[in-house]
């Protein structure tokens, strides 16, 4: 029995190892996700894991809920957190209109402090509206059309965007605005602003295809630009985004390290936030869709499955638990049976209780010849 059980367990181990091996082969980002698995999550952890059909990390979910709870209780310190929170709930396949009995969409389109930290709140508000299939009242304080008008009118004369009107435009925030406006590119009013921003971005690209923050090439802004131009329908070989033969994907690849992660700056150590941005860009390049949509929107969507190793450990633990319970039950019922079986009377040695029965083993046949002689003999 023991040998048979061990054989079954070994077969199960082999099957699960084959499953894990197949997954490693099928997912080109496996090494990068392995890096993320072993490090604390950053702000885009939930969308990044969802895009690859993986269960988002527990730490990321807890951080999301804590951020939303704080915002609902005392106001959002950064208005962009409200839009990001809505997107992350969608990625978790939860309804943002009923988060702890709060309609976050309603809170968003009536929120009075959306612009307290500049245009970032409007960008993420519009990204959230684009992500959820829900009509927003046209006369709301922060309606879809009002956010579009604010972002288009905030564009600099040269085409770039700054998070505040008193700041200089930068490639990172310009790419964020493009992500928000891209779904409305069929509108000529929006399309003109998008094209102007794309032209400006192309002029900011470095000779190696990368983009810079504060004068230094960074993977984060390079990845963000790649995401935004893909959402706008711009091809990688568009002349505006090719420098000396280097495309955006060529530039992004320079930041990848052997551990699967991406560094923030060239030749730096892998950084979680930079790695998440890189994966957002690469997934967007694969699908051609915004990386912020609900999971079921993407082609070939499959509900996130638990890690096969975790599944196997749980299965094995359940198997051992059931086996142990059955074993204990058998021991327990055996002892119970002995405890409650009726006592047997000891054999008695007294004669008054003894009955002797003699059963003849063979019948005795009468001597008929002798009887006949006795009958014929005259009496004396």
The domains found in the chain, sorted by start residue, are 11-297 (1.50.10.20)
Task: Check pLDDT > 80 for residue 185.
Answer: yes
Pairing type for strands 211-213 and 262-263 reads: unpaired
263 backbone dihedrals φ, ψ, rounded to 5° = -85, 155
Q: Which pLDDT score is estimated for 204? A: 98
Over residues 41-85, the pLDDT tens digits come to: 999 999 999 999 999 999 999 999 999 999 999 888 899 999 999
CA distance linking residue 49 with residue 57, whole number of Å: 8
**For position 356, what pLDDT does the model report?**
59
Q: Where are the alpha helices (DSSP H) in 234-307?
A: 248-253, 272-287
CA distance 314 to 319: 8
For 236-243, the CB contacts below 8 A with 24+ separation are: 236/285, 238/202, 240/198, 240/199, 240/201, 240/202, 240/205, 241/201, 241/202, 241/205, 241/209, 242/209, 243/205, 243/206, 243/207, 243/208, 243/209
pLDDT of residue 17: 47
Q: Average pLDDT, stretch 24-30? A: 74
Q: How confident is the model at residue 18 (pLDDT cuts 50, 70, 90)?
A: very low
Question: With contact defined as beta carbons under 8 Å apart, do 274 and 264 qualify?
Answer: yes
Q: Which of 287, 281, 284, 282 is nearest to 301 (CA)?
A: 287
pLDDT of residue 59: 98
Whole-structure pTM value: 0.76
Torsion 128-132-133-137 (CA) sign:
negative
Q: Give the model's pLDDT for residue 27.
A: 79
Q: Mention every residue, 6+ apart, whose C-beta is less than 8 A from residue 360.
A: none
- Report yes or no: 83 and 41 within 8 Å, Cβ to Cβ: no
């Amino acid at each position: 029995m023991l040998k048979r059980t061990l054989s079954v367990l070994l077969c199960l181990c082999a099957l699960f190892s084959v499953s894990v091996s197949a997954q490693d082969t099928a997912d080109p980002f496996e090494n990068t996700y392995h890096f993320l698995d072993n490090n604390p999550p950053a702000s885009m952890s939930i969308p990044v894991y969802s895009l690859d059909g993986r269960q988002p990390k527990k730490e990321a979910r807890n951080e999301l809920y804590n951020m939303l709870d704080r915002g609902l209780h005392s106001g959002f310190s950064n208005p962009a957190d409200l839009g990001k929170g809505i997107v992350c709930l969608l990625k978790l396949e939860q309804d943002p209109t009923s988060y702890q009995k709060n309609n976050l969409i309603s809170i968003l389109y009536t929120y009075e402090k959306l612009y307290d930290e500049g245009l970032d709140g409007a960008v993420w508000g519009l990204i959230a509206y684009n992500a959820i299939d829900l009509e927003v009242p046209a006369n709301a304080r922060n309606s879809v059309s009002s956010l579009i008008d604010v972002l288009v009118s905030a564009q600099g004369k040269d085409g770039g965007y700054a998070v505040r009107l008193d700041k200089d435009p930068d490639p990172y925030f310009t790419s964020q605005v493009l992500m928000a406006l891209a779904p409305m590119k069929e509108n000529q009013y929006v399309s003109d602003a998008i094209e102007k921003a794309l032209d400006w971005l192309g002029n900011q690209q470095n000779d190696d295809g990368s983009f810079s923050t504060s004068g230094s090439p960074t993977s984060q802004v390079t990845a963000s630009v790649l995401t935004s131009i893909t959402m706008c329908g711009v091809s990688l070989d568009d002349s505006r985004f090719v420098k000396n033969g280097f495309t955006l994907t060529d530039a992004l690849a320079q930041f990848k390290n052997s551990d699967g992660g991406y560094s923030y700056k060239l030749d730096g150590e892998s950084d979680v936030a930079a790695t998440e941005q890189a994966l957002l860009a690469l997934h967007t390049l694969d699908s051609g869709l915004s990386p912020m949509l609900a999971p079921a929107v993407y082609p070939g969507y499959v509900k996130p499955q638990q890690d096969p190793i975790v599944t196997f450990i749980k299965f094995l633990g359940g198997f051992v638990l059931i086996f142990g319970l059955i074993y204990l039950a058998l021991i327990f019922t055996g002892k119970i049976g002995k405890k409650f079986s009726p006592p047997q009377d000891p054999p008695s040695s007294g004669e008054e209780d003894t009955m002797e029965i003699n059963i003849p083993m063979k019948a005795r046949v009468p001597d008929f010849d002798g009887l006949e002689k006795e009958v014929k003999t005259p009496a004396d």
